[in-house]
Amino acid sequence: MFFKKDKPESSVKVNDDVTYTPFEKPSAECKIPPMTELSSEEKNKYGIVYTHLRAADLKIAPSEEALKKGPDSSFSPLTVDEKAWLSKECILRYLRASKWDPEAAKKRIEATLAWRREFGLSKMTDSQNELTDSVVSPENETGKEVILGFDNEARPCLYLKPGRQNTKTSQRQVQHMVYMLERVIDFMPPGQDSLALLIDFKASPAGTVSNKIPPVNIGRQVLNILQTHYPERLGKALLTNIPLLAWTFLKIIHPFIDPLTREKLVFDQPFPEYVPVTQLDGDFGGQVNFEYDHAKYWDKMVSMASERKKLYMKRFESFGSSIGLSEEDLRGTNEKLKYPLDWYI
């Protein structure tokens, strides 16, 4: 199930110049794989979910608990921001995660919308949400989560470094993880809707509370959020410098990891096989001389993500503010829609 491998030493020369902020775009050698052609049956199932979400009488719960109790006066129609979130690719992600069962996909989407309202993520603009950069900024002062570069398939890379833990176990740690997931999604280029996780368990004592692996209950909560509310978002997860305690932790949570996610996990393999060295942190065999300075990194990362989200929303409005618009169109520069709303017919 899990086993440790020896890693070869890297011979790549690290840049002299220091990098403090995220990369703007993937390197030239990154190639986004072509989309899989959908069958007529799959297109029909997309149409079923799409039509349901466009219904004028559709109302969404304010929380997961309210959803369990059933419709009441607290349920409300979709907002413009929620319609922008309900892209063509979003619907397809939930359908794939639901094994192309339209009814299951509908329920999962409505549950995630309720969760996003409750979690403080219902707005597309960061500053309008309850979960803002200022809420979680203290969690990242040691750089335990960093958005930096893109992998070979142009997925934005999110580095997780548990060894840089600087706070005690709390719900804010979960909020921080979710916030960074939202931001790395903002960095996705047109045509790519998944991300790469690069997880480094190496201990970094300076400025940390402890080098312990997160408690199992926190690990399970984060895993549940990832699998339930961010389906099909994980393209690849690379794990390295895994100590015995981390192997034990992984074995404990392994039963809770769905089979599709397990297939995307890569243990102790050279990162340059998956990420161009020109955008890979030098600590992992890349050329990038990256140093985390919270004062230089955090506001810049938030600003870069915000500009991308503003463009997304501006194009969403210009294309009619409708459910089912393609993320490729919303993140692109094309003047006309590449994917019309009725593409599935």
Residue-wise pLDDT for 275-326, tens only, equals 999 999 999 999 999 999 999 999 999 999 999 999 999 999 999 999 999 9
CA distance 23 to 148: 6
pLDDT 10s digits, 57-115: 999 999 999 999 999 999 999 999 999 999 999 999 999 999 999 999 999 999 999 99
pLDDT over threshold 90, residue 247: no
pLDDT over threshold 60, residue 2: no
Looking at residue 329, its amino acid is: D
Q: Pick left, alpha or beta for residue 28 (phi over 0 → left; psi -120 to 50 → alpha; otherwise beta).
A: alpha
pLDDT 10s digits, 156-180: 999 998 889 899 889 999 999 999 9
pLDDT of residue 205: 55
CA distance 158 to 295: 19
pLDDT of residue 113: 99
DSSP 257-322: S-HHHHTTEEES--GGGTS-GGGSBGGGT-SBEE---HHHHHHHHHHHHHHHHHHHHHHHHHTTS-
pLDDT of residue 214: 64
Map 308-326 to HEC letters. Answer: HHHHHHHHHHHCCCCCCCC
Domains of the chain (ranges, CATH numbers): 18-32+139-300 (3.40.525.10), 40-129+306-331 (no CATH)
Please give the sequence-ordered ranges of beta strands (E in DSSP) within the chain, or none if there are none: 18-19, 145-150, 156-160, 195-200, 234-240, 265-267, 289-290
Tell me the β-bridge partners of 239: 199, 267
pLDDT over threshold 50, residue 1: no
pLDDT of residue 211: 52
CA distance 227 to 256: 10
pLDDT 10s digits, 41-61: 999 999 999 999 999 999 999
pLDDT over threshold 60, residue 5: no
* CA neighbor of 41 nearest in space, from 93, 116, 4, 95: 95
- Extract the tokens encoding 344: 């599935």
